Amino acid sequence: MGSTARDTLNMRIKPEDRSLFDWAAKAQGKTRTDFIIEAARRAAEEALLDRALLHVGADAFEEFSARLDAPPRPSDRLKATMRKKAPWE
């Protein structure tokens, strides 16, 4: 069973923002608190994911770099597409 402990976060917001949050929460059948927490959590995760780092060993990095630097190998499907006349021509 997970923890049900909660903490308080107090904010000062403009009345028009509070009304907007209330309308949006009601439209989704949520409380204002649940709506704001879910929206803030999504924004926080997106902000952190944009800055995620991946640590790999030297061998894995060399292989990755080599694949990025290698010229692309066209597939048969791409070759066939490139031989076709464009629809606007």
Query: For the chain, what is the radius of gyration of the CA atoms?
Result: 25
13-40 burial code (b ≥16 CB/10 A, e <16): eeeeeeeebeeebeeeeeeeeebbeeee
Instruction: Report the distance separating Cα 24 and Cα 32, nearest Å.
Output: 8
- Contact (Cβ atoms closer than 8 angstroms) between residue 22 and residue 32: yes
Greater pLDDT, 9 or 54: 9
> Across the chain, what does the average pLDDT equal?
91
pLDDT bucket at 21, cuts 50 / 70 / 90 = very high
